[in-house]
């Protein structure tokens, strides 16, 4: 198995975003499907920002390492991008560990707002 490249992470970010869109479109009445759509949205941001960090010569293989790297001045990641990423992370964790429920509208907002700013920044 080879080590993923920045381009591989961007491809995964796009695939996760597409999967979140698909889950939203097909699972409107199913709370668990909407929870997974939130998680796919978060992982889209995670892989996009991982690609960005790699392009800055930084490595982040764990959530803790990624959080630290994003906050490093050398990452070049603006605070509002970090805030959007953290917002998605909290919602994903809430969906799976705290059983938070999401409406289709709320999932759409996460895709169109928080993920959109991360996607624009990383060039997804």
Q: How far apart are CA 11 and CA 9, in angstroms?
A: 5
Terminal alpha carbon distance of the chain: 25
One digit per residue, the tens of pLDDT, for the chain of length 124 reads 789 999 999 999 999 999 999 999 998 789 999 999 999 999 999 999 999 999 999 988 899 999 999 999 999 999 999 999 999 999 999 999 999 999 999 999 999 999 999 999 999 9
Query: pTM for the whole thing?
Result: 0.95
Radius of gyration of the chain, Cα coordinates, nearest whole angstrom: 14
The CATH superfamily label for domain 6-122 reads Nucleotidyltransferases  domain 2 (1.20.120.330)
Which tokens sit at 96?
A: 């799976």
Where are the domains positioned within the chain?
6-122
């Amino acid at each position: 198995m080879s080590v993923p490249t920045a381009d591989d992470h961007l491809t995964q970010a796009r695939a996760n975003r597409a999967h979140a869109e698909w889950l939203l479109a097909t699972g409107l009445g199913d709370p668990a499907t909407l929870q997974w759509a939130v998680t796919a949205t978060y992982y889209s941001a995670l892989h996009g920002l991982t690609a960005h960090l790699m392009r800055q010569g930084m490595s982040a293989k764990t959530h803790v390492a990624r959080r630290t790297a994003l906050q490093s001045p050398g990452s070049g990641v603006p605070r509002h991008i970090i805030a959007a990423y953290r917002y998605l992370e909290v919602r994903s964790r809430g969906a799976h560990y705290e059983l938070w429920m999401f409406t289709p509208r709320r999932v759409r907002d996460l895709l169109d707002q928080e993920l959109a700013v991360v996607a624009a920044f990383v060039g997804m």
